[in-house]
Each structure stands twice: as C-alpha cells, then as structure tokens.
Amino acid sequence: MSDKGCGAPVGGVALADVDAGDQAVIQGVVTRDGAPLRGAYARLLNTSGDFAGEVATGDEGTFRFFAADGDWKVRVLASQGFTAEYAVQAEVGKVIDLKVEA
C-alpha cells in the first residue's frame, strides 16, 4: 500500500509516552513476521460501521486514536490483502492497546 493512497497522515506515534488523562485512547502496533509494518492503515469506525478517522502506520508500525467513551471498531488494512477488525470499548482515562499481526 502506498503512503499516498488515501491521504491519511502517517502514524509513527510513540506508544510508551501517552498518558490518557481525561481522554479515551485506542492505540496499537501492526507487525508482520515480528517486525513493525509501515504503511498499514488503521481506521476508527463507530458501532454502525461509519468512518470516524484513519491513520497510516509509520516506521514503528504504530497508530493512535483519541475517542469518546463507548463502543468502537478498529479496522486494520495492510498489504497482501490483510484486513482485520477489532471491537473495543473506550473509556476516559484508559488506554486500549491492540497488537495486530498482519
């Protein structure tokens, strides 16, 4: 997948340095064969499947969303036809960590 494919900003956030505070955080890392996967896309969807946001992973294979409390879906798309979807429940003050092996 090209980093320019859909205009999503490239991720690359450092996951270790987030303090949720008064936010609900959904974040993760996408890997393939144990190595970070650059250029995968993480999409945040509401429970109806409506698009809320998208980021492309950077060199570290990471992504992060700040979301409202409640139920969400994270859909990850990567090269070689990989697609996976994860149901998450965001809560203010908590960090949800996803590990995706593409």
The answer to whether the beta carbons of residues 65 and 9 sit under 8 Å apart is no
The contacts of residue 81 (CB under 8 Å, 6+ apart) are none
CATH of the domain at 21: 2.60.40.10
Q: Which domain holds residue 65?
A: 15-101
In a domain, 51, yes or no: yes
| pTM, two decimal places | 0.81
- Show pLDDT as tens, one digit a residue, over the chain (102 residues): 434 444 445 555 555 556 667 889 999 999 999 999 999 999 999 999 999 999 999 999 999 999 999 999 999 999 999 999 999 999 999 999 999 999
The residue to which tokens 């509401």 are assigned:
46
In a domain, 86, yes or no: yes
In a domain, 8, yes or no: no
| Domains in the chain, number | 1
